[in-house]
Amino acid sequence: MKDAQDKVIILGTDTQIGLSLIRELGRRNCYVIAIGRSRGSIGLRSRYAREGFLWPGGDETQQIEFLNQVARTTGARFLLCVSETDILFLNRCRDRLEGLTPLIPSQATIDRVLDKQGTASVATQVGILSPESHAIEDLTELSALAPSLSYPVILKWRNPHEVMQDSQRHGLAIEKIIYCQNADELAEQLGRYAPLGRFPMIQAYCPGYGLGQFFFMHQGKDLLRFQHRRLHEWPPEGGFSSLCAGVPLDQHRALQEKSIALLRKLDWEGPAMVEYRYDEHNDRAVLMEINGRFWGSLPLAYYSNAPFGWYSYQVLGLGQVPLAIEPVRDDIQCRNTLIELKRLIRIIFQPQKIRDRSLKFSPFKEVACFIGGYFNPRMRYYIFSLSDPMPLLADWAAMARKLMRR
């Protein structure tokens, strides 16, 4: 373990991802400098954040000068960040950082995993299935394509960052996934993006649950691996996990090796999540995407002793592989209580809003599961921690302010 003079900046501490990185590095005696985007940032309230700063407004020049000033003031040499937007920003401005090294993938590498069609093409080479996908350049192409489609279908952007600015100018929201139950809904949803002159991909629907395989890659080797399944998701038909559980590494071994082969072909360095939709009835896994950043369910990995943030700092920053870590656990569950409650309300009171109409839920079982989770000794939480309670209080305060504004 390193002494407390090891200093690292974490940019983006407003979510459970940044909070988990703070806790993970702080518990290993790193001197963590947290940067949040609001005064209510939960990471700024963590006992493991030695210093905290607010991200400034202004242009990129002002923001880079801010980072350089924080580095000069604190003596930090390394920087971790959470979002893809910040990764792209730091790559654009990397040569203007002074004495501060961002521990992030290169622009060429992140571009490869952000390109979902390109990733699917490489995945085919290593024997990984991908959803059947169609790309259109004009709405007139839809009539010729429609007879070959089976519903529901899903709309997903090939690379959402490429259209983000244009969509904001037109007042259009870029959603991660859009479900279309029939041809009319498909035409309606695609028509929303006609002002952009670009359209999301049309993908076949893949049944099953979310299976995430996580690796820390270095020079073609997986130094650390972990996997989980999504027990509950928001929205209920599929999105991000609100309740997840570790999966033993002796399961899905062949798929793990294919995931590693895929990351090798992409020349990946550092942490990555390879996300699948897994149909256990047919033992069929279909690739959804690669997250080339720290993922939303990082708290589960943290509580399960899979220290992806620590490996990023040690390997990418200091150039040394940790000699020993505690055994990785596969018996922990982790949940986002607020999102779980939101999901429960949707299932009980708004079932008509669940876009995948093939899904059936028992309200009684869902309520029993929600309450029973509080008595599960293996349950952990995205934000709450007895040893670090202030982030939860900050989260509650932020929710109270939001409700008062409404």
Rounded to a whole number of angstroms, the CA Rg of the chain reads 21
Q: How far apart are CA 317 and CA 98, in angstroms?
A: 15
pTM of the model: 0.93
Of the candidates 169, 204, 239, which is a domain's last residue? 204
DSSP collapsed to 3 states, the chain: CCCCCCEEEEECCCCHHHHHHHHHHHHCCCEEEEEECCCCCHHHHCCCEEEEEECCCCCHHHHHHHHHHHHHHHCCCEEEECCHHHHHHHHHCHHHCCCCEECCCCHHHHHHHHCHHHHHHHHHHCCCECCCEECCCCHHHHHHHHHHCCCCEEEECCCHHHCHHHHHHCCCCCCCCEEECCHHHHHHHHHCCHHHCCCCEEEECCCCEEEEEEEEEECCEEEEEEEEEEEEEECCCCCEEEEEEECCCCCCHHHHHHHHHHHHHCCCCEEEEEEEEEECCCCEEEEEEEECCCCCCHHHHHHCCCCHHHHHHHHHHHCCCCCCCCCCCCCCEEECHHHHHHHHHHHHHCHHHCCCCCCCCCHHHHHHHHHHHHHCCCEEECCCCCCCCHHHHHHHHHHHHHHHHC
Q: Does 308 reside within a domain?
A: no
Please indicate, yes or no, whether residues 57 and 11 belong to a single structural domain of this protein: yes
Using one digit for the tens of pLDDT, what is the confidence trace for 42-71? 999 999 999 999 999 889 999 999 999 999
Please indicate, yes or no, whether residues 98 and 153 belong to a single structural domain of this protein: no
Q: Given this model, what pLDDT does residue 4 score?
A: 46
Q: Does 193 reside within a domain?
A: yes
Q: Does 387 reside within a domain?
A: no
Paired tokens of 314: 């040690």
- Phi and psi at 246, nearest 5°, equal -65, 150
Of the candidates 142, 171, 204, which is a domain's last residue? 204
pLDDT at residue 2 above 50?
Answer: no
CATH, residue 136: 3.30.1490
Domain that holds residue 146: 132-204
Please indicate, yes or no, whether residues 80 and 37 belong to a single structural domain of this protein: yes
CATH, residue 72: 3.40.50.720
Q: Does 383 reside within a domain?
A: no
Using one digit for the tens of pLDDT, what is the confidence trace for 169-205? 888 988 888 889 899 999 999 999 999 999 999 999 9
| Of residues 385, 396, 381, 281, the one with CA closest to residue 334 | 381
What mean pLDDT comes out for the span 389-401?
92
Compute the mean pLDDT over every residue in the chain, rounded to the nearest whole number: 94
Torsion, Cα 75 81 86 92, to 10 degrees, reads 50
Q: Does 356 reside within a domain?
A: no
- Phi and psi at 55, nearest 5°, equal -65, 130
Q: Given this model, what pLDDT does residue 5 score?
A: 58
Whole-angstrom CA distances from 214 to 151, 222, 276, 347 are 31, 10, 11, 30
For the chain, what percent of residues have pLDDT higher than 70?
Answer: 99
- Phi and psi at 324, nearest 5°, equal -155, 140
Please indicate, yes or no, whether residues 160 and 89 belong to a single structural domain of this protein: no
Please indicate, yes or no, whether residues 14 and 66 belong to a single structural domain of this protein: yes
Q: Does 306 reside within a domain?
A: no
| Of residues 383, 230, 251, 221, the one with CA closest to residue 311 | 221
The domain tally of the chain equals 2
Using one digit for the tens of pLDDT, what is the confidence trace for 318-346? 999 998 788 999 999 999 999 999 999 99
Q: Does 200 reside within a domain?
A: yes
Q: Does 395 reside within a domain?
A: no
For the chain, what percent of residues have pLDDT higher than 90?
Answer: 84
pLDDT at residue 275 above 60?
Answer: yes
pLDDT at residue 3 above 60?
Answer: no
Of the candidates 155, 189, 204, which is a domain's last residue? 204
Torsion, Cα 391 393 397 399, to 10 degrees, reads 70
